[in-house]
Amino acid sequence: PASPGGADTGSRGRRVTLDNVTFRYPGAASRVLAEVNVDMTPGTTTAFIGSTGSGKTTLANLLPRLLDVTEGSVSVDGVDVRELDPHELRQNVATVPQKAYLFSGTIRSTLQHGQPDATDAELWAALEAAQAAGFVQALDDGLDHEVDQGGVNFSGGQRQRLAIARALVRQAGVYVFDDSFSALDYATDARLRAGLPQATGGATIVVVAQRVASVRTADQIVVLDEGHVVGIGTHEELMDTCPTYAEIVLSQISAEEAA
Q: What is the 3-state secondary structure (H, E, C) of the chain?
A: CCCCCCCCCCCCCCCEEEEEEEECCCCCCCCCEEEEEEEECCCCEEEEECCCCCCHHHHHHHCCCCCCCCEEEEEECCEEHHHCCHHHHHHHEEEECCCCCCCCEEHHHHHHHHCCCCCHHHHHHHHHHCCCHHHHHCCCCHHHCEECHHHCCCCHHHHHHHHHHHHHHCCCCEEEEECCCCCCCHHHHHHHHHHHHHHCCCCEEEEEECCHHHCCCCCEEEEEECCEEEEEECHHHHHHHCHHHHHHHHHHHHHHHHC
The residue ranges of every structural domain in the chain are 16-33+42-52+76-258
Q: Is the pLDDT of residue 207 over 60?
A: yes
Yes or no: say if 49 and 245 are a contact pair by the CB < 8 Å rule: yes
Give the number of other CB atoms < 10 A from CB of residue 253. Answer: 12
pLDDT for position 42: 95
Q: pLDDT digit string (tens) for 228-243? A: 999 999 999 999 999 9
Candidates 89, 91, 88, 175; CA nearest to 126 is 175
Fold of 16-33+42-52+76-258: Rossmann fold (3.40.50)
Taking residues 110-133, report their average pLDDT. 94
Question: What is the C-alpha to C-alpha distance for residues 243 and 239, in angstroms, rounded to an integer?
Answer: 7
Candidates 168, 204, 4; CA nearest to 86 is 4
pTM of the predicted model as reported, rounded to 2 decimal places:
0.89
Question: What is the C-alpha to C-alpha distance for residues 159 and 165, in angstroms, rounded to an integer?
Answer: 10
pLDDT for position 52: 82
Q: pLDDT digit string (tens) for 138-148? A: 999 999 999 99
Portion of the chain with pLDDT greater than 70, in percent: 94
Per the model's pLDDT, the better-predicted residue between 213 and 15 turns out to be 15
* Band (257; pLDDT cuts 50, 70, 90): low
Sign of the Cα torsion 57, 27, 228, 202 reads positive
